[in-house]
Amino acid sequence: MTTSWTIFRKELADAVRDRRTWMIALFISLLSGPAVFLLVSNFVSGVEEKVAKREVVIEHAEYAPTLVNFLQRAGATIVPAPQGYRDQLRSGTLGNAVLVPPVDFEQKLERGEQVAVEAIFDDSHDKAQAVVRASIRLLAGFNRELGTQRLFARGVSPLVLAPLEVREVSLAPSQARGAQLLFIVPWAALMVAVFGALSVAIDVTAGERERGSLEPLLANPLSTGAQVLGKWGVVMAYSVVIVVLTMAGFMVSMRLVTSETLSALMQLQWREVAIFVALLLPFAALMAAINMLAATFGRTYKEAQTYVSYIAMGVQFSAVVPVFLTVRDAPWQWFVPAIAQLTVLMRALRGDPVGTSDLVIPGAVCAAAAVICLALQARLLKRETIVFARS
């Protein structure tokens, strides 16, 4: 233990003096996580504003005064379609549908014929989707109002057309919709745990080999296990700092969010932060161990970067899996690192209850895997092919 502590102190002093390592850590934790957060919230509030404004874009509004009258009564503002609106729709600068009534709109309406009104939009722009839907809903409202009037005029109850009354009772908690969009927040937090201390993990392993300090170090009467433990401690300490900084960044960003809907949709209070930290720390412990193990095979810093990038790719891939799973919260998910963390984090953000086992099982799996990685690394350091390989 004394040996591990000595190595920990030395590696910490060494890492703290490496300005590049700090720059990367600060960049990842303070910038990327909250930056993603702010982008998402900006996106949501942008959509909200547009939907709230209830703008309806019409080409040749003068052809359809009845429709315009309805829309104005419904609280919508009529905006004439700009020149070249098709290009604007495609490029996303016009994030709405453009309604195009035909020149004989009123005449057909009067004769009781069906009138075709084109709604032109490009819904490949995510931001436009909600606004387009709102415009089309207004048209449906016009349909309903006029249809009902006509049925009344013929002495028929409008209920004839609606034999079924659909009452929607959503069981999703109030935050659920937000969490779908905010998958990105736990994902970013997870990536911070993967990448945050990567440079330290490589420096204490492949870096030691590259600068030729591994051979003299191993000539000391120390167990390789104690060495690995001390070095892992430093990588872990770095991860802890970065995870905490990232969560602080999230909390600060949350305060800056202007969108009330978003604040109401996404739960990120002290309870959620505690769940994030409880899930991310064991995961960071595993990432530290597995990255160190992979980097041990590298003879140079650069070579080690290649090896750890395989791991980073694997984690990034598996982190996306829960999004596409049709079965939510299947038991096996609790036993797969990255997937387990993401699943539980998303539950927390959705406002679903998170129990002790949701934290303990993923944590225990990570801890066990970390111990295995560290033990393997301690054995590797006894191999001549690792210490002296073609050096």
In the complex, the residues that contact another protein under the rule CB under 8 A are 2-3, 6-7, 10, 13-14, 17-18, 208, 211-216, 218-222, 384, 387-388, 391
Tokens 């690192």, located at residue: 337
Residue 245 CB, nearest distance to another protein (Å)?
Answer: 22
Q: CB of residue 196 vs another protein: minimum separation in angstroms? A: 20
CA–CA separation, 29 and 248 (whole Å): 9
Among residues 273, 264, 119, the alpha carbon closest in space to that of 189 is found at 273
Nearest distance from C-beta of residue 230 to another protein, angstroms:
10
As beta bridge partners, residue 78 has: 56
**Cα 27 to Cα 21: distance, rounded to the nearest angstrom:** 10
Q: Minimal distance in Å, beta carbon 209 to another protein?
A: 9
Residue placing its CB nearer to another protein in the complex, 212 or 353: 212
First and final C-alpha spacing in the chain? 31
Contact 359, 275 (CB under 8 A): yes
Q: Which is nearer to another protein, 17 or 167 (CB)?
A: 17
Q: How far is the CB of 188 from another protein (least distance, A)?
A: 30
Please say whether the dihedral angle defined by the alpha carbons of residues 177, 182, 183 and 186, taken in this order, is positive or negative.
Answer: negative
CB closer to another protein out of 155 and 212: 212
Considering the complex, state which of residue 91 and residue 391 has its C-beta at the smaller distance from another protein: 391
Of 12, 377, 362, nearest to 190 by C-alpha is 362
Q: Token pair of 236, please?
A: 């872990």
Task: Give me the residue label for tokens 């694997």.
Answer: 314
Give me the least distance between CB of 25 and another protein, in Å please.
16
Nearer to another protein among residue 317 and residue 388 (C-beta): 388
Strand order in the sheet with 55-58: 77-80, 55-58, 98-100, 118-120
> Closer CB to another protein, residue 47 or residue 202?
202
